[in-house]
A and B are shown apart, each in its own frame.
Chain A
């Protein structure tokens, strides 16, 4: 009976933790509101049902001061909720574009280009020690339905689609972004623990929408580099070996 956040309920990314905190904050506020309004509604109904026949109803067309109170108080709470969220959103989608305080551009490693298509994920990594280029390079490394990223710091992927819309969704990291035809969208996230995470599509993309099953493999930086070397060696291996001398 585990009907809460997936896995052990924790987010495995820094931002995911903040998102969960905001979720719980809203949950507390709406729970209090729900209990309060439901209690008021229940009490009003109970009183209205037990009113005596000779008793008169409360003949009132409203109360100006009550209206003022229940306009100002909720608007203050709502405005607080809204403004309190802004920073996390900025961190998720905007701060990566901004420059550092000293004017240098942000250093977020672009690890891979993730291209969604009906119904799989194709991933292209640059060769070790090289940056990702917008167009495919001869020494690029490819994988399908398995995205490897290093842990320990923000990484970025470039999200694309070959055909219709898809969405990149890693529930345990609380990351989601639509892949839009004709656009290349950077997505930043970090994975705090080296392990496998489930990765899926969250935007209707056709009959096979439910089967775009993939995994995100978070590894330490060394393991990631080693994996890339190994993958590159496998990919470019043509089976030819020099005859034994």
Chain B
């Protein structure tokens, strides 16, 4: 179905006579083309969402295994340990431990957070919120989903290679990741990991190109750039970030694959002897990988955050029944985060041995990136201020997003300051920090977004009580797991240690770690509530109309769920997206973007004000 020119579509229906009234079931689709190889952005979004939710459980299981080892080092792990590490008596061996945290990060970052934001919600929301009937390139869109699967298979298959899964961290610093002799997991597993990463990259890139084109070209009449919801702005900025940053990672990945398989030496210095293997011939630089990797992966941190910021802005305005405070500053600060995001990658490398003078410039740019984040936070509080707060689960998730983001942002300042970073670099402080941002902020935003847009996806509401219980358990579990990590970091406990209690000065941290592990298990099992609620509500939730939340966006003018082609009436946009509680909205407290208010009425309201 052509999407660039909706009138063609109408002409098509006219030819078939009586079909013209029903956009949604205009073409009868086979099961395969409707549910599997679908080119409908909504179906692709749902495919992404369900895939990422299942992957979240996989990544969570890996994390719980890591936590088990930290709470009960070298003890038999019931069930999971017996199944996976049966040969070792159910205990996690140190090399298995390195594989567990490597794959936890890999799954969570590349198969959960990035695809759930851009893939699931980007896909689902962009055409609906800008009033388009689909993406600009529907087939490319379908491919972007299906390119995830080779990645999932490659990551999965890497566990079954000789020596086990990749074990050099999600950052895969050479030479550990590069020389086969360096670690058991640096054999074929690492090659598969790199190829999997490339597939994820291709998938993201196809999405990114599609989103940019769609947002630029396919907005409904009246949808000017500054009438776009902040979700769309965030997706737009994220797509630009991805388009510019991703090629660097892909290139670096290919360089590493060629170092491993073709004998080039981009990252290999000469004369290195690993595990009594022959010396390397070399001539390369290991630091080059770190630069290339972080040149992508730092902007990727914002790819993992900005869309959630946009969605939370939308949800907060709706749940507080008042406009977003400072719409344009919100847009500009997102743009500033994206721009500055390209010149801060060196803060991952303060003590890596790069030129120390660079530490100074990277510190200043990194600390200054806190500014747009602060502006956004103040504007969110301004949005809540003086509103009519609806304390439903969506609002709870959004509140958690804001306050967890405050903690995550502030703890970032410690690490941005180079001298302090000397001490806390590669300790649990950093682990606390990025979990506060990626889990505390992004994932809570995503949980809210699932609850908020679920009615539009399936035409049914999710259960509110279960949502609140899920929120409460996750929130408590999250804070009890990750807040103490700040303390571990200050106590000097390094990351990625299979057994930190091996060191006398860390021995006393065992009880605290056991408490954190208990909290982590609580949090992990709470996610079954989300899954249960999601799949139950899909079939048995109460049905809802087009606009159950009383929201303003274009997506709420479409039927729930929207049919193929989205809108039964071509939307025309007259307002910005956040006219909640507007004096011209009459007896309701929202004013949909498509609702035309005659000039006389607007003038009257103005005078009355």
Give residues in A with beta carbon < 8 Å to B. Answer: 2-7, 15-16, 18-19, 22-23, 26-27, 29-30, 33-34, 37-38, 40-41, 44-45, 47-49, 51, 55-63, 66-67, 70-71, 74-75, 78-79, 81-83, 85-86, 88-90, 92-94, 118, 162-165, 167, 169, 171-172, 174-183, 185, 198, 200-211, 213
Contact = CB atoms under 8 A, between A and B. Distances in A.
B541 interface: no
A18 to B, nearest CB: 7
Interface stretch (B152-160, B208-216, B384-392, B452-460): B384-392
Interface in B548-586: 578, 580-583
B176 A47 contact: no
A45 B590 CA distance: 20
Contact of B370 (A45, A78, A89, A204): A78
Given A19-B423, A169-B494, A207 B368 contact: no
B138 interface: no
Given A58-B386, A70-B374, A93-B359, A79 B182 contact: no
A45 B488 CA distance: 32
Contacts of A177: 351, 353
A200 B503 contact: yes
A19 B420 contact: yes
Nearest to B501: A210
A210 to B, nearest CB: 4
A162 to B, nearest CB: 6
B389 A34 contact: no
A162 B363 contact: no
Interface in B367-401: 367-368, 370-371, 374-375, 377-379, 381-382, 384-389, 391, 399
B491 A3 contact: yes
Given A3-B490, A61-B327, A180 B182 contact: no
A89 B491 contact: no
17 contacts: A3-B512, A15-B419, A19-B420, A19-B422, A23-B414, A29-B413, A37-B381, A37-B406, A44-B385, A85-B418, A164-B175, A165-B173, A171-B492, A182-B272, A206-B167, A207-B93, A210-B496
Given A57-B581, A164-B176, A180 B363 contact: no
Interface string B301-316: 0000000000000000
A53 to B, nearest CB: 9
B420 A59 contact: no
A183 B589 contact: no
B173 A89 contact: no
Interface in B390-440: 391, 399, 402-403, 406-407, 410-411, 413-414, 416-420, 422-423, 425-427
Interface stretch (B56-64, B112-120, B236-244, B279-287): B279-287
Interface string B154-177: 000000000000011100011110
A182 B414 CA distance: 30
Contacts of A118: 182, 274-275
User: By CB atoms of chain A within 10 A, which of B168, B270, B399, B492 has the most?
Assistant: B492
B498 A78 contact: no
B185 to A, nearest CB: 8
Contacts of B324: 61-62
Given A48-B389, A67-B326, A180 B417 contact: no
Given A5-B490, A74-B371, A89 B512 contact: no
B498 A210 contact: yes
A204 B391 CA distance: 44
B524 interface: no
Given A5-B492, A185-B353, A210-B497, A163 B274 contact: yes
A57 B320 contact: yes
B608 interface: no
Nearest to A88: B419
Contacts of A206: 98, 167, 176, 182-183
Contacts of A85: 363, 417-420
Given A164-B179, A211-B499, 20 more contacts: A2-B508, A3-B512, A23-B423, A40-B385, A44-B387, A55-B388, A57-B321, A59-B322, A59-B581, A60-B325, A62-B379, A71-B375, A89-B419, A92-B422, A176-B425, A181-B175, A181-B272, A181-B286, A200-B503, A207-B184
Contacts of A175: 422
B545 interface: no
User: By CB atoms of chain B within 10 A, which of A48, A58, A177 has the most?
Assistant: A48
B352 interface: yes
Contacts of A185: 353
B417 A62 contact: no
Interface string B259-300: 000000000011111110000001001110000000000000
B357 interface: yes
A30 B410 contact: yes
- What 10 A-B pairs come out closest when comparing CB atoms? A182-B269, A58-B386, A48-B389, A93-B356, A62-B326, A171-B492, A207-B95, A3-B487, A210-B497, A88-B419
